Amino acid sequence: MMAACPCPSPVPNAGSVPEFEQAVIEEMNGRLTKLENLGRQALPVGAMLHLRGHAKTLDLEYYRGVFADENHGYQVVAFATPQSFARVEPELTAMVRSFQPDCAAGSKSP
């Protein structure tokens, strides 16, 4: 199991979380085969997407936290193989839910 640190991802004119979510799914669809959207959970300032797909030689299951504030956004990516996902799911969920972007505090930074 691997988890990536939250990293800012510039999103020109993201506007809203649903638009950003769609951009994330489209980008993943271009990199993964057999992409499945398994669901979405609303978060206080974003959403957590549950996705599954095949990346070159490995099947992966993801939680992707998607957060947007005006013209920028953040993704928090947590993933594991489908065989171990259920076992580590509580840890992955906690990691994604723990992210607090500046937009949660009402920041309107450029």
pLDDT digits (tens, 9 = 90+) for 61-79: 999 999 887 777 889 999 9
Instruction: List Cβ neighbours of 87 (8 Å cut-off, separation of 6 or more).
Output: none
**What architecture is the 2-104 domain classified under in CATH?**
3-Layer(aba) Sandwich (3.40)
Q: Where are the alpha helices (DSSP H) in 1-110?
A: 17-31, 82-98
Per-position DSSP letters for 76-99, written without gaps between them: EEEEE-HHHHHHHHHHHHHHHHH-
**CA dihedral sign of residues 46, 53, 77, 13:** negative
Q: Could you tell me the pTM of the whole model?
A: 0.76
According to the model, what pLDDT value does residue 8 have?
41
Q: Decide if 17 contacts 41 (C-beta within 8 A).
A: no
Q: Decide if 1 contacts 88 (C-beta within 8 A).
A: yes
Average of per-residue pLDDT across 43-66: 93
